Amino acid sequence: MVLVNGVTENRINIADRGLQYGDGLFETIAYRNGVAEFLDAHLTRLLKGCKRLAIPFQDIEILGAELNSVCHQLSDDAVIKIIITRGSGGRGYFAESNIEPSRIISSHPCQTYPESYPRSGIRVRLCKQTLSENSSLAGIKHLNRLEQVLARNEWDDVDIAEGLMFDQDNNVIEGTMSNVFIVKENQLLTPKVDKAGVAGIIRAHICKWAQQNGLVVEEKNLSRDELFTADEIFVCNSVIGIWPVSNIDNRAYAVGPVTKNLQQALAESEK
């Protein structure tokens, strides 16, 4: 099902700035057991992104009603995507102040992944495509995803589930579709996303849970050497949850106790 500005439709105006310039934001939400998971956190990040990009979107109640309408049509677990664009305007980068933002909500079948991924871990590669530094865009889920597209298309080996991306200083930032954590000497470390990358919903949830349960967690620049010498590594996002990393470019890693504990804590929070 697709709603465009509240109307059942699968087309947008050719002049929409989301299409013309990537001028907008999106959220990808897991819908499981009749619940849109972490919905408040997703909507909060969406509004934060709109404020950062100066998109005058205020219709959160209308968006919520439309989201409920989409959810009521679902009989199975699904993935829901919300897109907010600046709206349709004339040609050129300048945006007129009277443009109405566009709302797009779509539902999609859940992608099926091997059952071994959360249990035994995944194979990961290191991407050649780097992430550009831009503090104005860092953290939010804006529509400009060409770097991730280029990185993901570096491989077609079905045995490799994810690729890790680095900044121009060779610090690991995130996966093509996920955030990354490492465990070192029982400390939980995750890359900063103040210059590049996405501040993921599950990433924030993991950091909060770790702090509340006495596990040291730190956001920092993570070098390749720190990645290679980690005791445990895992990736996460709102759809996949937490996947342990068992192999990076033929380097083996254990699926350790910290990762397993976090998986259990995440599963319990989703109930």
- Residue 27 appears among annotated catalytic residues: no
CB 117 within 8 A of CB 158: no
Q: Token pair for residue 192?
A: 């900063």
Residue with tokens 């045995």: 159
CA 76 to chain CA centroid, nearest Å: 22
Catalytic residue among 27, 162, 174, 232: 174
- Residue 130 appears among annotated catalytic residues: no
Catalytic residue among 66, 85, 141, 162: 141
CA gap 131, 148 in Å, rounded: 8
- Residue 28 appears among annotated catalytic residues: yes
CB 180 within 8 A of CB 188: no
How far CA 244 is from CA of 73, 120, 182, 259, in Å, comes to 33, 7, 10, 7
Query: Who's near 118: CB < 8 A, 6+ residues apart?
Result: 240, 241, 242, 243, 244, 263
Tally the residues of the chain.
Answer: 271
At residue 248's C-alpha, the angle toward residues 242 and 251, to 5°, is: 125
How far CA 84 is from CA of 27, 45, 70, 164, 268, in Å, comes to 9, 12, 16, 27, 31
Positions marked catalytic:
28, 141, 174
